[in-house]
Amino acid sequence: MRAAIPVKNIEALIDDGGDITVGPIGPIECAATAADGHNALAMLVRRDGETLNALLNRLDKAIARFYETGETTDEINPPSD
C-alpha cells in the first residue's frame, strides 16, 4: 500500500468551500484546477509521464503559493500582453 501524499492545502481549500477538478479541459488531455468561490487559484497541465500523485502535489503547492502571495498559477491560458 502506498503512503498518501500530503495535500493539506487542497484539504483546506475544500474545507473552505472551494473545489478541485482533474480531467480533460478542451484539447488538454489532463489538467488539474483549483478554485474558491470567486477565483481560479491554479490551472495546471499534466506533464508527459507525470503521475497523478505528482500532479496533485504540484496543485497543492500552487494553492499554497496563492494563499501565501495571492499569485495564481495558470498553465492553460496564454499570458496576455
Q: What is the pLDDT of residue 4?
A: 65
Instruction: Yes or no: say if 2 and 23 are a contact pair by the CB < 8 Å rule.
Output: no
Copy the grid coordinates of residue 23: 480531467
- How many alpha carbons fall within 13 Å on the CB side of residue 22? 12
pTM: 0.89
Residue 2 has pLDDT above 70, yes or no: no
Q: Tell me the per-residue pLDDT of 46-63, one tens digit each, with 9 for 90 and over.
A: 999 999 999 999 999 999
3-state helix, strand, coil in the chain (%, to 5): 30, 30, 40
Give the residue extent of every domain in the chain. 8-74
Cell readout for 1 is 500500500
pLDDT, residue 1, reads 47
